[in-house]
Amino acid sequence: MRIERISLYKIALPLLFPLEVSFGRWTHRHSVLVRVEGEGLEGWGECPAGAFPDYNAETWVTVLYVLKTFLIPPLFDLDVRGLADVTQSMSRVRGHAFAKTGLEWAVLDWLARAEGISLAQKLGGTRSRAPVGVSLGIEPDIEELMARVEEFLARGYARIKLKIKPGWDIHVVETFRSRHPNVSLMVDANNAYRLHHLPVFQALDEMELLMIEQPLEHDDIYFHSLLQKELRTPITLDESIQSPLHARAAIALQACRAINIKPARMSGPSAAVAVHDICQNAGMPVWHGGMLETGVGRVANIAMAALPNFRFPADISASDRYFAEDIIDPPVVLNSDSTVSVPRGPGLGVDVKLDLVESLAQIKEVIERK
Ligand code: OSB
Ligand code: MG
């Protein structure tokens, strides 16, 4: 199959409320959307790169530049028989995971639509519903956070994730636990701590947490293995696991007891499935993370979360947790059992609101086959 045209849309969707994490405050979902066209079909993907390189080294500016300069032009020469052809072409470019992700998902959506099967089927997903939770940020005061927690429990989310940082940790978890002793709770430190903070983790270790996410440096695996030895609570790694080799290292070192899979962080679905399979064979559970994606990226994540080794609720919430209006139709909704349904239609299984995307686009670039 031949790709004839690739359109890039830089958008910024305001979040209904900002998400503050240890390293900063997110008020918008900046994204570059990728639309692949060819053979009378289209496919969509999302590059969830922000305005500032704080989660990883990328921004939406680097994503646009790398896509149009290096990643996209060689694709027009390919006869695409499977996603591997595109993954292999892109492997000549080092890094730039978010840029590659949007292109991989768009091509996979395009290929799945050509076959008339869903993204989940294409990936080997087996579930019809994926258990999910909600990720809530740091707030100006603890009562505001507790009010937000109660709002989301009332909406039906059965697992809460709270962001922590030094000074916003033990007391917050204690307050939560005193009011909700039996609610499934985890914390995400987004790399805000060092090994000398061990006493904080020993205190958290007594509070029945499902997992402690990425406590130490964003690019560390070894020191996490030292911390994990001291704790009963499973550590889960997010930022540190960018490739299948990183997952192998974390398994060998016993640096964590679960791995957070975000396809975007791993350059796309090819590497994400590889990490899923490596972990499954090693007896290491995985769970699905999120990057506050618009509906395009989120529905792709839901398809990924349909694979069998996803063992804990995903950071994939309903559209109305993030945005006043999502860019997909129908939007993602929460089922009464704290799950989201895996779409069954071809490809993403939802419609992308092209008119809305066109009107939101701050930058649009169209690259055509010559
Ligand atoms: O660390 O998991 C994270 C959002 C942006 C950047 C990093 C993270 C997050 C989240 C949000 O926790 C999860 C979601 O998409 O709902
Ligand atoms: Mg995280």
In a domain? residue 133 = yes
Atom of ligand 1 nearest to the CA of 26: 5
Residue 136 one-letter amino acid: L
Residue given tokens 């579930």 in the structure block: 127
Whether residues 97 and 132 fall in one domain: no
In a domain? residue 348 = no
Whether residues 90 and 147 fall in one domain: no
Specify the pLDDT at position 24: 94
Specify the pLDDT at position 63: 98
- Cross-strand pairs, 21: 24
292: CA distance to ligand 1 center in Å?
Answer: 6
Contact 271/243 with Cβ under 8 angstroms?
yes
Ligand 1 probe mutation, 138, 315, 323, most atoms within 8 A of CB: 315
In a domain? residue 81 = yes
The boundaries of the domain holding residue 142 are 121-341
Structure tokens that stand for 62 in this block: 């680097």
137: CA distance to ligand 1 center in Å?
Answer: 9
Specify the pLDDT at position 66: 98
pTM above 0.95, yes or no: yes
Specify the pLDDT at position 170: 98
Whether residues 227 and 285 fall in one domain: yes
Specify the pLDDT at position 10: 98
Number of domains in the chain: 2
CA–CA dist 108, 274 (Å, integer): 15
Contact 298/332 with Cβ under 8 angstroms?
yes
CA–CA dist 37, 354 (Å, integer): 13
CA–CA dist 309, 318 (Å, integer): 22
Domain of 292, CATH number, reads 3.20.20.120
Instruction: Give the residue numbers marked as catalytic.
Output: 163, 262
In a domain? residue 333 = yes
Specify the pLDDT at position 215: 98
44: CA distance to ligand 2 center in Å?
Answer: 25
Residue given tokens 């997909």 in the structure block: 328
Specify the pLDDT at position 225: 98
Specify the pLDDT at position 351: 98
Atom of ligand 1 nearest to the CA of 260: 2
Whether residues 251 and 298 fall in one domain: yes
Please spell the DSSP secondary structure of 74-128, one letter per residue.
Answer: GGGG---SSHHHHHHHHTTS-S-HHHHHHHHHHHHHHHHHHHT-BHHHHHT---S
Ligand 1 pocket, Cβ-based, cut-off 6 angstroms? 55, 135, 188, 190, 238, 289-292, 315, 317
Whether residues 55 and 141 fall in one domain: no
Specify the pLDDT at position 174: 98
Structure tokens that stand for 116 in this block: 């008339």
CA–CA dist 36, 366 (Å, integer): 10
Whether residues 164 and 278 fall in one domain: yes
**Residues in Cβ contact with 94 at an 8 Å cutoff, skipping those fewer than 6 apart:** none
Atom of ligand 1 nearest to the CA of 316: 16
Please spell the DSSP secondary structure of 37-51, one letter per residue.
Answer: EETTEEEEEEE---S
Nearest CA to ligand 1 atom 13: 290
Whether residues 358 and 295 fall in one domain: no
In a domain? residue 347 = no
CA–CA dist 108, 106 (Å, integer): 5
Whether residues 151 and 30 fall in one domain: no
In a domain? residue 257 = yes
What is the number of the ligand closest to the CA of 294? 1
In this structure, the number of other CB atoms found within 10 A of the CB of residue 127 comes to 16
Contact 162/172 with Cβ under 8 angstroms?
yes
Whether residues 304 and 245 fall in one domain: yes
What is the number of the ligand closest to the CA of 315? 1
CA–CA dist 258, 213 (Å, integer): 9
Would you give per-residue pLDDT tens digits along the chain (370 residues)? Answer: 999 999 999 999 999 999 999 999 999 999 999 999 999 999 999 999 999 999 999 999 999 999 999 999 999 999 999 999 999 999 999 999 999 999 999 999 999 999 999 999 999 999 999 999 999 999 999 999 999 999 999 999 999 999 999 999 999 999 999 999 999 999 999 999 999 999 999 999 999 999 999 999 999 999 999 999 999 999 999 999 999 999 999 999 999 999 999 999 999 999 999 999 999 999 999 999 999 999 999 999 999 999 999 999 999 999 999 999 999 999 999 999 999 999 999 999 999 999 999 999 999 999 999 9
Closest CA to 299 of 336, 255, 247, 352: 352
Specify the pLDDT at position 41: 98
Whether residues 131 and 267 fall in one domain: yes
4: CA distance to ligand 1 center in Å?
Answer: 34
Specify the pLDDT at position 95: 98
What is the number of the ligand closest to the CA of 321? 1
In a domain? residue 329 = yes
In a domain? residue 168 = yes
Whether residues 223 and 334 fall in one domain: yes
287: CA distance to ligand 2 center in Å?
Answer: 11
Ligand 1 probe mutation, 132, 138, 218, 291, most atoms within 8 A of CB: 291
Whether residues 104 and 146 fall in one domain: no
Specify the pLDDT at position 180: 98
Nearest CA to ligand 1 atom 6: 291
Domain of 74, CATH number, reads 3.30.390.10
